[in-house]
Amino acid sequence: MMPSPTPTNVLLLGAGGHARAVADAARARGIRIIGVLDDDPDRTIDGVDAPNLGPASMPPANLLHYAVHAATGDAARRQAWLEPFSQALTIDHPSAEVSPEAAIGGGVFIGPRAIINAGAEVQDGAIINSGAIIEHDVHVGRFAHVAPGAIVCGEAVLGAAAWVGAGAIILPRVRVGHHATVGAGAVVTTEVPDGTTVVGIPAK
């Protein structure tokens, strides 16, 4: 018999590499991983003693009231997987620094040594990965992903499902559009339109 859902229990949706990082952060926070949902019925998370309970894309009805975290880097998949569930748990690594003046949505992952400063807003399902910096008054849209070591400077805006590559820099007050992609190491000095991919220094 599975335990009742509580803030210290979570089901992870997905069992890939990102799920291992999420599992580490969860355990460091004292959150118990009670099961995994993955579309591969034989897949579990290495080093995590939690059973595969069914497909993430068609979750069993008896699990829909449990707290879950969508542990995949794919924005569309995170959004689709979370849709049937009523509780999306935010998981932040203990080494992350999150200002009490920041607003953090549900189902967000905040990786080791990440920093989120005062006035920032990180919306539902976003990923702020290891060592990423979200400066003051930045807006991070739903299901956006800020990859390891990226820096988003003050008052910048990331649209829904935007992807900021590892080590990239978004300059102050610059907007990166919905579903836009910023390549690793890029320096973004001007607006990136919706659905656009930019690379380089300055990013083009």
* Domain 9-89 of CATH type 3.40.50.1000: no
Q: Which CATH architecture has domain 90-197?
A: 3 Solenoid (2.160)
pLDDT band at 2 (very low <50, low <70, confident <90, very high): very low
Task: Give me the pLDDT at residue 8, please.
Answer: 80
Confidence of residue 7 (pLDDT cuts 50, 70, 90): low
* Cβ atoms within 10 Å, residue 49: 7
pLDDT tens-digit profile of 11-62?
A: 999 999 999 999 999 999 999 999 999 999 999 998 888 999 999 999 999 9
Q: In what order do the strands lie in the sheet with 139-140?
A: 103-104, 121-122, 139-140, 157-158, 175-176
Amino acid identity, position 49:
D
Percent of the chain, pLDDT > 90? 92
Q: Where are the domains of the chain?
A: 9-89, 90-197
